[in-house]
Structure formats: structure tokens, C-alpha cells
Structure 1
Amino acid sequence: MKSLYKITLVLGLMITVSSCFHNDKPNYQYFPNMYESVSGETYSPAPVDVFKNGKEGQLPAVGSINRGFEPFEYENTPEGYALAKANLKSPLDSLDRNSDKGKELFEIYCISCHGAAGDGKGKLVEREKFLGVPNYKDREITEGSIFYVETYGLNAMGSHANQMSAHERWLVADYVLKLKAQ
């Protein structure tokens, strides 16, 4: 008797499961993208109908700041340079000023153009890849103006803000002032 109940239960379950299947209308899929992935062509633009203005999903949120980014209050203009030169002071105290680290960073990022003595006679200038690199001793520079130029770049010199942190740029500015004093 118990086996009859088991056979009836199994047959009823099989009929119930198979009766839900229809070739024209497949069963409901809980995660359809797992079964039928949406393919995208490499380097193709995103469909316009996905985003309101065509690029909304690719833009950062309004007012957001990149991780690790430190805002710089001086604008990238000649007036901003003049203000930085006059007003910007190093936040490093006497314990933070590490001339060995500043020299090391200078030798990595600056020596190829500015030269070891800061005289504007680096390897790239000697090979005439860049011309007109200034001698530190011939210019009126302050730690603020050096930091500004390292941050934004000036003339043929590009910005070093992506290569060095703000602390490292201050260390280089301190070392450049020591080169100027020699």
C-alpha cells in the first residue's frame, strides 16, 4: 500500500512538472542575463537610450572628488601663479623636510631637464630635446611658485601632480630652494 502511494506521488509530480513545459513559451528564467548574455562590441559607444544624455552613467556624480585628490585653491592662470608665488607657503615643518627624499625625487623627475645643479643643463637640454630650461639662480622663485609649477606645469614643463603626491612636491620645492641657494 505504501509503495502505491509512493508511485502515485512520483507520477503526479512528474505530470505536474512536465505539464508546465511548452516549447513556444519557455519557463520563466530568474536571471536571464546569466543564460543569454548581452554582448557588447569592443570600443563601441553605449546605446543612447540607456542613459538620459548619452553619457550620464559614465560621468562622476556632481560635486564628487577623486579618491586621494587634494583640491588646490589656486587656479591654473597667470593670476593664480602670481598669487601662489606671493602667498603659498609650505606646510612642512622642520621635521618633515627631508632633503634626501627631496633630492631623490628631484633626481627621478627633474634632473633630466633641469640638471643636477639646477642650472637648466640636463641631459635632454644637452641633446637639444628641450630648449630654454631656466637656471634656478637666474629666476625669482619661491616655494609657492615651485609647488604651483609642479602641480600645473608651465610652458614646456608638464604637470607632475599625477606622479608625485602633494607632500612629495613640497619636498622637491624645498630641495629646489636649497639648489638655488648653493
Structure 2
Amino acid sequence: MKSLIKIAGLFVLVVSVSSCKNDLKPNYQYMPNMYESVAYETYAESDAFNSPTGLKGKEGQIPAEGSIKRGFEPYEYPNTTAGYDAAKANLKSPLDSTGVDAKKAEELYTIYCSICHGEAGDGKGKLVKQEKFLGVPAYKDRPVTEGSIYHVITYGLNSMGSHANQLSSKERWMVTSHVLKLRNQ
């Protein structure tokens, strides 16, 4: 009797499992696009990203108006001669003497600046000696201030490019303090 109950139970289990699957009449799919996604031809034009704004689907890539990225500190001086003069006259370092890591500042200067400006800030770096760049000034020959150095590191000047992407605001201020130290030696 027990074996008959086991066989009947097994039969009911097989029938119930096999009745759920029918290839001729597939079951209802709750999210069919996840199972059978629309096939797009690679590099073909598609209407999927057309929008009434005319941005062709790029509105998801554009940041919200007025937003700034995390960790970004706005710099209010423009990249103009007037902005340089204003920064030279008014801009002061927010770091105090304890906020500047002299060893780290020297390392950053060596990595980013000494190739042109030289280890001593004399304008005789490796690229200048090889005559790749000419006219790199020595710091002692120029009337520079904290603000002017920071502004030039941020935006670049003449042949020097901007280092704002490589150095954070704090690191630029540390390099500024090291340049002033080299200037005063």
C-alpha cells in the first residue's frame, strides 16, 4: 500500500510539473523585454533615443543645471589677464603652515614642475636643457605671489598647460607654497 501511495504521488508530481510547460502555448511573461529584448543593429540609427528636446537621448548624460561634481571647489577668477591680475593681488592660500605637507609638496613639484622649471626653480629643467621649451622663467626673476602661482597652475600660462586635472585644489596650494619656498632661497 505504501508503494502504491508513493507511485501515485510521483505520478501527480510528474503531471503537475509537465503541465506547466507547453511550447505551443507559452506561459504569460511578466517582463517580456527582459527575456526577449529588441535586437538593434550595431551602429544603426534608431528612434529609441529621440526626444522632444532634440538632444537625441543625451539628456541622461547632461548634468543638472547648477550642479557641481563631488569634491569640486569653484574657482571664481576667470582665465583672463584681468583674472590673473585679480588673483595676483587678492588670492591667498587657505592652508596654514600646518596644512602644508612640505615633503608631499616637494614630491608634487618634482613630478609636475621640475621637468621644465628645474629642481631649484631656476628655469633650467631637463626639457629646457634639451631645448624642447625655451624661455622658462626662474622664480627669482618674477614678481609672483601666492595667488598668481595658483592661478597659473590652475589655468596655465603661455607654453605651460593647466594642471587643474592632475592636482586637486589642496595639492595646487601645496605646490604654490613650495614654489614660494624655492623663490625665497
TM-score bucket (shorter structure) = 0.7 to 0.9
Residue 32 of structure 1 corresponds to: 32
Q: TM-score with structure 1 length normalisation? A: 0.79
State the alpha-carbon separation in 2 of the partners of residues 143 and 23 from structure 1.
Answer: 77
Deviation digits for residues 139-181 of structure 1 (CA, Å, limit 9, x no counterpart): 1111101111111111211111121111111111011011111
State the alpha-carbon separation in 2 of the partners of residues 92 and 125 from structure 1.
Answer: 31
Alpha-carbon RMSD: 3.3
Structure 2 gap ranges (5+): 1-13
Structure 1 gap ranges (5+): 1-13
State the alpha-carbon separation in 2 of the partners of residues 41 and 100 from structure 1.
Answer: 55
Contact 1:143 1:174 in 2 (8 A): yes
Residue 84 of structure 1 corresponds to: 87
Contact 1:151 1:161 in 2 (8 A): yes
**Which of 174, 180, 184 in structure 2 is aligned with 1:181?**
184
Residue 151 of structure 1 corresponds to: 154
Deviation at 1:130, TM superposition (A): 1.8
Q: TM-score with structure 2 length normalisation? A: 0.78
Matching residue's letter, 1:33: N
Counterparts in 2 of 1:27 and 1:161: CA distance versus 1, 3 Å: same
Kindly indicate whether residue 184 of structure 2 is the aligned counterpart of residue 168 of structure 1. no
Matching residue's letter, 1:35: Y
Deviation at 1:33, TM superposition (A): 3.4
State the alpha-carbon separation in 2 of the partners of residues 33 and 18 from structure 1.
Answer: 26
Deviation digits for residues 56-112 of structure 1 (CA, Å, limit 9, x no counterpart): 122111111112111111111211111101100011112113322211110111111
Matching residue's letter, 1:31: M
Counterparts in 2 of 1:94 and 1:38: CA distance versus 1, 3 Å: same
% identity of equivalent residues: 65
Deviation at 1:133, TM superposition (A): 1.4
Matching residue's letter, 1:37: S
